[in-house]
Structure 1
Amino acid sequence: MELEVLRESHFRALRAQAKSSDTLRFYKQAYRELETHLGPENPKLQDVEQLTRDDFYAMLEGMRERGCVPGTLHAIMRGLRASFNWAYEEEYIEQNPFARVKMPSVPRKIQPCVQPEMAQRVLRVAEEDGAYRTRNTAILMVMFDTGLRLSEVAKLELPDVNLKDGVLKVWAGKGGHDRYVPFGNSVVRAISKYQRDRRPKFPGETRLWIGRGGEPLTKWGISLLFDGYAERLGVDRSEIAPHAWRRGFAVQYLRNGGEMFALQQLLGHTSLEMTRKYVNYLPVDLKRSHMLLSPLDRILRSR
């Protein structure tokens, strides 16, 4: 089967499953990397079952020589593994060329996590944002108080925000499941103040966050805010990146006695293992306490 035909068939299946544009972009990058490595005249482009482990390993070596970081290498290989597994399971191919390929290792590294002190520093900087002060402050508060993903924050619309009950509705987040996420009184006040300052100027727009010209603020527009805050604070952008705020919410939730299973629902994780990684950010005593909360682990340890 031709790699181009396989790719297009895979994308049709992904779109039929209503996968996000980010997911499609993830797979597109993986296919592109393999196609670039093989070159336009390679006969294996016409029959992917001719691919061997050495082809994938040679692609990895080329990426390393270009300076790609371990996380990028692993992501590309994850995308290709999922693609060829899908093709084999759907019987597009009879032999899976990726079946015996070993994944590259990724150094275990705890990613930056916004702590309360850093959140306060960024909020103080946002107070100097002039006409966008109330909007930017509300965005930061929502992110730290709810743990929403950047894309989920950007997509919020007016009907999704229930200020009376202090609840946000997140439509079809990652994994395709809607969920409700509560927020505190500080966020209620911040959003209310923002709406008083900005919303009356754009009555016909349903998106919550409005950009400079009255258009909805995209996730890329929100992301750019953090570039500016990092520069003004003199810190590395990764320290206050959008996902670092999500990690900050998760860690503070656990520190304040939150329950692991509830955190899984709030974050929209499809498995508890995805949520438990946040325990690694806790001090040793709290980490031990949360690890003991798992009833299944306690049963298995008692055997």
Structure 2
Amino acid sequence: MQKKTMRKLKRNQATTQMSNVLHSLTLHEMFEKFMVYKRTEALANRTINDYYKHFDYFKEYLRNDLTSEEITSDLLRGFIGYMLHEKKLSPVTANVRIRTMRAFMRYCYNEGYLSNPVHEIFKPVKTPQDTLESLTPAEIKKLLSVIDDELYTGFRDNVIIFILLDTMVRISELVAIKRRNVDLKAGFIKLEAEETKTRRTRSVPLSSKTMKLLNEYIIETEDFGEEELFLTYDGHSINPSTVRHKLREYGERAGINNKRVSPHTFRHTGALLYILNGGDPFSLQKILGHTDMSMVRKYIQMTDVDVRRQHNSFSPINSIF
């Protein structure tokens, strides 16, 4: 009986010691363990880098490393307030960071590093329903008119805008396109699984106008001898931030000051115009690479004028009279 009691005591002591070890980890140490775990999921390098980037934002707010006891619900609520009120971030931008850190906190709780499920209160903030803006055809033409396509960079940016609108790819997908991914005979660009958000290969179709421009661009950049499709003027891989900066610059030149001119804006615009031109939402879902139709609905946010125009074309009355 005494031996059984001793064994029980030793097991309890071992459990207590292990618990103490887990709770002695600092926030930074927990994050490194979290990232080791995330790498086992075979995530894209872009996604891994995003985790580190969002953790850096959190560290900027905290300023110091923390013990597990110092990670509280109030601390996380403070981080939300810091992003919204001090940094003046939009709820959409804040939510991207919140989701990343929430996944981290959930992992810490499940692994026993944290005693309290703080992730349960650390939820994304509410956002206005209509947060996605689109450009009008007139604004797109105005934007293209300010680009000097006699220069290499201007011609490249012209092609990029056509690709963004026509294929509705994400900026991360665009800069990852290789020359071998382009099939001008079939009229498709193949997006490789490791570069897509859903980790699935998909092919996006091209219009004849885009194919013509893309063919010219491919011939012009052949001498660079690089694998990547879109390159800087000196033949290096183009960075997503470069594309964002150039589009913002063109938007300012074109006098489009009331809307954000960005790669994602072109994704929304392409999706909306696809539907307005008679495309169906199911093929659009496949092009966008969404697994959930609810996400497609968010992209298709029509104005009252859009709805009126569609109604004039497709009203049930038209089929009667």
Write the distance in 2 (CA, Å) between the matches of 1:215 and 1:31. Answer: 29
SS at match of 2:190: strand
Deviation of the 1:21 alpha carbon: 4.0
Query: 5+ unaligned residues in a row in structure 1: which ranges?
Result: 289-303
Q: 2:208 aligns with which of 166, 185, 199?
A: 185
> How many angstroms does 1:286 deviate by?
7.9
Question: What residue in structure 2 maps to residue 123 of structure 1?
Answer: 144
CA distance in 2, matches of 1:15, 1:200: 36
Within 5 Å, which residues of 2 pair with 1:282-301? 283-284=306-307
Q: Quick check: 1:201 aligned with 2:223?
A: yes
Alignment of 1:60-79 (within 5 A): 60-71=80-91, 72-79=93-100
Paired with 1:251 and 1:157, the residues of 2 have a C-alpha distance of: 27
> Partner of 1:240: helix, strand, or coil?
coil
Structure 2 residue aligned with 1:140: 161
CA RMSD of aligned residues (A): 2.7
2:294 aligned residue: 273
How far the C-alpha of 1:230 sits from its partner, in A, is 1.7
Instruction: Give the Cα separation in 2 of the matches to 1:241 and 1:218.
Output: 14
Please state whether the residue corresponding to 1:180 is helix, strand or coil.
strand
Supply the AA of the counterpart residue of 1:76: R
Aligned residues: 283
Choose 5-14 or 125-134, whichever is displaced more: 125-134
CA contact 2:188–2:204 (8 Å) conserved in 1: yes
For 1:205 and 1:29, the matched residues in 2 are separated by 29
Q: Give the 3 Å change call, closer, same or farther, for CA 96–286 of structure 1 in structure 2.
A: farther
CA–CA distance in structure 2, aligned partners of residues 201 and 30 of structure 1: 39
Q: Which residue of 1 is the match for residue 40 of structure 2?
A: 16
Match of 2:127 in 1: 106
The amino acid across from 1:69 in the alignment is L
Cα distance in 1 for residues equivalent to 2:143 and 2:263? 12
Aligned to 1:151: 172
TM-score (norm 1): 0.82
Tell me how far 1:60 sits from its aligned partner.
2.8
Q: Report how far residue 208 of structure 1 moved.
A: 1.3
| Unpaired stretches in structure 2, ≥5 consecutive residues | 1-22, 312-321
Aligned to 2:28: 4
TM-score, length of structure 2 as denominator length: 0.78
Measure how far apart 1:56 and its partner are.
Answer: 1.6
C-alpha distance in 2 between matches for 1:137 and 1:102: 40
User: Cα offset for 1:179?
Assistant: 0.3
Q: Residues of 1 paired with 2:309 and 2:286: CA distance?
A: 21
Q: Percent identity between the aligned chains?
A: 25
1:40 is matched with which residue? 64
Match of 1:163 among 164, 168, 184: 184
Measure, in 2, the Cα distance between the counterparts of 1:159 and 1:112.
33
- Alignment check: 8 A CA contact 1:70 1:105 kept: no
Q: Which protein is bigger by CA-based radius of gyration?
A: 2
Secondary structure in 2 aligned to 1:207? Answer: coil
Deviation at 1:88, TM superposition (A): 3.3
The alignment partner of 2:189 has SS state of strand
Letter of the 1:184 partner, please give it: S
| Equivalent residues of 2:98, 2:122 under 8 A apart | no
Residues 180 and 266 in structure 1, CA contact (< 8 A), matched pair in contact too: yes
- The answer to whether the 8 Å contact 1:169/1:181 transfers is yes
